[in-house]
Amino acid sequence: MKQAFLVFLGGGLGSVLRYLISKSLNPLFFHFFLGTFLVNIVGCLLIGLFLGLSAKGNLLSYNNTLFLATGFCGGFTTFSAFAFEKHSLLKNGDLLHFAIYMISSIVVGILAVVVGLWLSKYL
């Protein structure tokens, strides 16, 4: 239960920070969501740092990793987990699954948004 609370707390903090950054930066640029873009890139940097520190001689405890990587980065941006998973596939030389997962995630994700918007018109 403690670990679920750590993920919950980290996720909440990450989500609030994502909201504040996106709210302040997105309106500044026409047709480019700078806040969202920066959150995604910083989230990728952070999840790499946190998971790397966790793997490197246990510099982060399991609970700290749950709070920071799973919770905070997960709430801050799911793009960070997406990027880390793609890196794992590339690192293992699994180019076919990398390509399938990358292309299908983007295409199906966009289609899901379109379908969700379409469904919302009828609810």
Q: What is the pTM of this model?
A: 0.78
pLDDT of amino acid 93: 95
Kindly list the distances between the CA atom of residue 11 and the CA atoms of 2, 8, 38, 64, 85, in Å, as whole numbers in the listed order.
14, 5, 18, 13, 19
pLDDT digits (tens, 9 = 90+) for 89-121: 999 999 999 999 899 989 998 999 889 888 888
Q: Residue 65 in contact with residue 50, Cβ under 8 Å? A: yes
Q: Nearest 5°: phi and psi at 29?
A: -125, 130
Residue 123: band (very low, low, confident or very high) from pLDDT cuts 50, 70, 90: low
Which of 61, 27, 53, 25 is CA-nearest to residue 41? 25
Domain assignments of the chain as residue spans, ordered by start: 2-79, 93-123
Write down the H helix ranges in the chain.
2-25, 34-55, 62-65, 74-76, 79-91, 95-120
Structure tokens at 119: 């469904």
